[in-house]
Structure 1
């Protein structure tokens, strides 16, 4: 008997869900209400699309498993994306000072525009046998509180019913999940929102001549200072460009005007972002976005949940984009779905429950990392630090301070933030011993640049003074 699944949403989570299901069913229909660009261009329905996106090691590994023949890593690099080793290719100023750079192995991340990433993944997924994209708006779910049987989609002034053996809601931040569940008679799912009021401001620049190999540079926000968090990042993207993304929590928001944008970079805890771009050629206006709150739906804890219905991606949990976790969590969730679907089929009883419980693990890890910091900023809505949070913060600060001069501590941080391993990595005996011992090297008084990189930075500053 033919098996059909319907995925609502053709964003990254939806496309990866379709890839995950393509080997377990005969037909996967992806529903998308918006027009999709024919190429790597910004699309509607993605408020964070113009800002910085980092594809971490854990997420990339999941994508490679979901698309084994397509080789998403190779496709992205061929299209101009950059692969950055966290140990040596990143210049990072943390709340505890500069992290040293180590010429050792470790996790990598992919940097490119979100438009390029979506386009590469979309092409790979739609080439899979049995996967089709249909332009249609999902209006709700068909079925009842015990089982979902399909999707109600708009048809002219009315609706039509599309049958499915499994439905996946991957419709993103705009998901109508609470209303759809209520219409089926399913009790409300508990939600939590933590909003630090973060504002993102991003501008693209042409990479200055001679700076093509300058490392990814980030000045991190300080959640422990008792004042608004402010951060900035310069990351290489395709076509010889730098994406410069600034972020500030409530009371410390970056401005949208070009002069204010540059002043903000120079007023960060370290001015290196401003030093890099002061003389660079801007290619776009400043784009601002405020859709940055953390929202978590605890589907895996629901007492009642219909069979044959799964929620993934931002429809399930979305995170402050400053932490770079969302895309990787979506990929890890789709991998859970694919493994469960191949194990017993999409119509086996209890599949939806098992998937939601499996997906909750990477969601919980990313949620803990984002919320444990966001609750500390002034004016946060939806939470405040609890006694356990203070203990975690004390250990995290000591670990980060140690990481400024200890490779074992730094490696543990990179493994967890890249979603290569779970948070338990931070409590391994070797990590605990390193943290208790403190940094083996003294704090770096200035950015850990190579002589060539230092000369490049000086040249950029001279050029900026001449232009001024």
Structure 2
């Protein structure tokens, strides 16, 4: 047996046909002989809704770090997304964002970007790229109901068909990418592994979303966002408008307990007018609703610290929302999953099988850390949040980041430092480097904007739209 054969798993099983599951398969396929994806539902042929993904109704975007990770796993995928109508939004050049500290400037020099598209289209492009590889197969209408093996070695999964028939599916590697509904904690407890630590931090935020026919050309149109301010004496609320494929706007509104949006269509635009600035409501009054309003309440941050479990069983890896799920307000879920899949691929590429699962789990956790710090670091400051309250250190850090954010409204250097972290291309510790500390100390170099910043061409379009509506 050759060295290469000894260090190559024969068969891998991925639980879940989600984006995280597909990216896990992409990470695995060059390092194992075959990959089988277990999916409880049917997978659509095209860019259509996938059963079991209620969050698909809400706005999604890929941060720079996530888009680059997907292209590293599936070269050409981002170009395919753009060719299918997705938008590449330069940051902050094509973003009109009202932060708690004021309007961010649209700097002409773009340092990062977002990819905006419907979740269905992103799902489809990634799924299409993964499943065209003959080494990857899918077993649909099949549910994983438990692990095979022992507390020291997972050797496969027990699966159940839609008809209720159980069978054992053996594998050298099992990747749980089943999402928020993951049963891995319970299955590990069945093996006597009960030391798993976790956090559950919930701001109580509810999402309401719908699609609109855009009243303006979407190509080159900016992302619009109004962020929540946890310091205000009222329930936090926020919203965003993303240009997506099909000349549409994808719109989401968010509100904390005591001020949550509802599924009533007539109340959607009224709720938008309760945000800290009426920009979204002003735009939506000119747009044509294409769908009903979909509401979701499952927005808690939840993390399992699998990387701390000792000993960690060989043959098991947990990825994506199964390991850490984030408040979707911050837009890091898909990107963190993609970066976790790259970490898995890199560990597989070493060819060292003993301890692979443990090393991969630690590497995935490091990719989670930044997105987790960003989400929890914001959510703990809302008075409605349960699961954790801010410490003195948390409050001091929040005050510093707020000062840096205020500086960013008039300082390209501060804006770039913050965007490096938000784009998942730098860790939060980069914000306390001497150069950034000095930038925050100096403060904004330009005066604050007192209104949203639209380009001359955009303002002409808005004026024409207003005249059309008036007549």
Please give the residue correspondences for 1:1-80 in structure 2 after superposition, counting only pairs within 5 Å.
3-68=10-75, 71-80=76-85
1:252 and 1:376 map into 2 onto residues whose CA distance is 17
Q: Confirm whether residue 367 of structure 1 aligns to residue 369 of structure 2.
A: no
Residues 418-450 of structure 1: CA deviation (Å, up to 9, x unaligned): 112221221223221111100000100111111
1:249 and 1:359 map into 2 onto residues whose CA distance is 30
Please give the residue correspondences for 1:111-150 in structure 2 after superposition, counting only pairs within 5 Å.
111-135=116-140, 136-150=142-156
Cα 1:42–1:188 shift into 2, 3 Å = farther
Q: Confirm whether residue 396 of structure 1 aligns to residue 401 of structure 2.
A: yes
The range that moved more, 107-116 or 251-260, is 251-260
2:219 and 2:354 map into 1 onto residues whose CA distance is 54
Q: CA deviation at 1:189?
A: 1.1
CA contact (8 A) 1:226 1:376 kept: no
Partner of 1:163: 170
State the TM-score, normalizing by the size of structure 1: 0.96
Partner of 1:230: 237
2:434 and 2:413 map into 1 onto residues whose CA distance is 11
The partner residue of 2:436 within 418, 427, 431 is 431
The partner residue of 1:290 within 281, 297, 301 is 297
Q: CA deviation at 1:160?
A: 1.0
| DSSP-derived class of the 2:350 partner | helix
Q: Confirm whether residue 420 of structure 1 aligns to residue 428 of structure 2.
A: no
Unaligned runs of at least 5 residues, structure 2: none
2:282 and 2:434 map into 1 onto residues whose CA distance is 40
Partner of 1:448: 453
RMSD: 1.4
Aligned residues: 462
Q: CA deviation at 1:183?
A: 2.0
Residues 242-284 of structure 1: CA deviation (Å, up to 9, x unaligned): 0111111222212222221111112211111111110211111
State the TM-score, normalizing by the size of structure 2: 0.95
Please give the residue correspondences for 1:268-417 in structure 2 after superposition, counting only pairs within 5 Å.
268-345=275-352, 348-417=353-422
Q: CA deviation at 1:226?
A: 4.0
Partner of 1:206: 213
The partner residue of 1:219 within 226, 232, 246 is 226
Residues 97-143 of structure 1: CA deviation (Å, up to 9, x unaligned): 00011111311110000000000000000112411111121111000
1:320 and 1:53 map into 2 onto residues whose CA distance is 12
Q: CA deviation at 1:458?
A: 3.0
| DSSP-derived class of the 2:54 partner | coil
Q: CA deviation at 1:454?
A: 1.9
Q: CA deviation at 1:306?
A: 0.8
CA contact (8 A) 1:227 1:378 kept: no
The partner residue of 2:182 within 175, 191, 199 is 175
Q: Confirm whether residue 266 of structure 1 aligns to residue 273 of structure 2.
A: yes
CA contact (8 A) 2:218 2:247 kept: no
CA contact (8 A) 1:47 1:291 kept: no
CA contact (8 A) 1:141 1:180 kept: yes
| DSSP-derived class of the 1:327 partner | helix
Q: CA deviation at 1:235?
A: 0.7
The range that moved more, 247-256 or 452-461, is 452-461
Q: Confirm whether residue 187 of structure 1 aligns to residue 194 of structure 2.
A: yes
Q: CA deviation at 1:212?
A: 4.9
The partner residue of 1:153 within 159, 166, 175 is 159
